[in-house]
Amino acid sequence: MKLVTLLLALCFSGATSLRICSFNVQIFGEAKGSKREVMTLLHKIVSRCDIMLLMEIRDSKDVAIHALMAKLNSFRKMNEFNLIISERLGRSMSKEQYAFIYRKNVVTVIDFYQYKDQQDGDVDVFSREPFIVWFKSLNTEVKDFVIIPQHTVPEDAVREIDELYDVYLEVRQKWNTENIIFMGDFNAGCSYVPKKYWKNIRLRTNPEFVWLLGDKTDTTVRSKTSCAYDRIVLHGKDLISSVIPHSATVFDFMRAYRLTEEQALEVSDHYPVEFQLNKSNNFARKTSRRQDGRNLE
């Protein structure tokens, strides 16, 4: 009886939140996609999340990302994942893509667009411009939100993070929404963003933006580094108030899956970061009634 109760509690706990994640997969292409053990671990990592932002996809043939999607959906006929992916971005020959993998029975995409940084009278700051997606959530307290991803060039991190404020202004005007999530590998730590430079970043100095992970949070896999590169920043009262307290965290997959550092680095040199949103009261009551019914059976 105790085991049944525990399983029901775990089921209810998972059903009463929406988990949003961000992960720099570090050169995710054909070579990494061909490694069975790595793909198995990526399947486990991604399937934990209702929305997963993946960065540093470098695969001109789109082989790796579609192999991952096939693996994710191979046993989930009633809980399938969808994919939406950006164009190839970057100033060098080595182009990257942003991708969002999301549960289609939990969220839907309202709209999306590729931000263009080369505007009249403005400097081309971003090397990999944000691929912006507006999601509708089917069961959470906050009904819709925009995710603005960013993978900065380390040497330009301060300028690129600051420029995200201009992206915010455009998105707010374009879609008339205040609920905005910035997330990704900002390279927002150690030597790339020294303490004295935070005052030059509007996303940090404006009190309307809430940073969920602190400057001392370590998002790196290597034991010899400790840097808060990966970040989550929120805007919008409804969105912020719906965040589950203390849910913002780093997912240490090395510890979770009992890997050596060498094995973990085969996956990435970054850990995913994540947070959770409360489900709506109506959904929680429906879920509770269904579980009570199973318990009575």
By the 10 Å C-beta count (0-12 exposed, 13-18 middle, 19+ buried), 257 is classed as: middle
The predicted model gives 19-24 an average pLDDT of 98
Strand partners, 215: none
Residue 290 has pLDDT above 90, yes or no: no
Residue 282 has pLDDT above 70, yes or no: no
Q: What is the largest CA-CA distance in the chain?
A: 68
Length of the chain: 297
Q: State the DSSP code for 213.
A: S
Mean pLDDT of the chain: 89
| 29-63 pLDDT per residue, tens | 999 999 999 999 999 999 999 999 999 999 988 99
Residue 296 has pLDDT above 80, yes or no: no
- What is the pLDDT, as a whole number, of residue 123? 72
Q: pLDDT band at residue 16, thresholds of 50, 70 and 90?
A: confident
Residue 283 has pLDDT above 80, yes or no: no
- What is the pLDDT, as a whole number, of residue 79? 79
- What is the pLDDT, as a whole number, of residue 122? 64
Q: Which of 126, 70, 68 is nearest to 96 (CA)?
A: 126
- What is the pLDDT, as a whole number, of residue 190? 96
Distances 191 to 13, 23, 157, 162, 194 between C-alpha atoms, Å: 39, 21, 10, 17, 6
Strand partners, 24: 55
- What is the pLDDT, as a whole number, of residue 77? 66
d(CA 255, CA 267) in angstroms, rounded, equals: 13
Highest mean pLDDT among 118-127, 198-207, 285-294: 198-207
Place of tokens 């429906």: 286
Place of tokens 């969105």: 239
- What is the pLDDT, as a whole number, of residue 112? 98
Catalytic residues: 96, 151
- What is the pLDDT, as a whole number, of residue 293? 35
Encoding tokens for residue 57? 């996809």
The predicted model gives 228-255 an average pLDDT of 98
| 210-223 pLDDT per residue, tens | 999 999 999 999 99
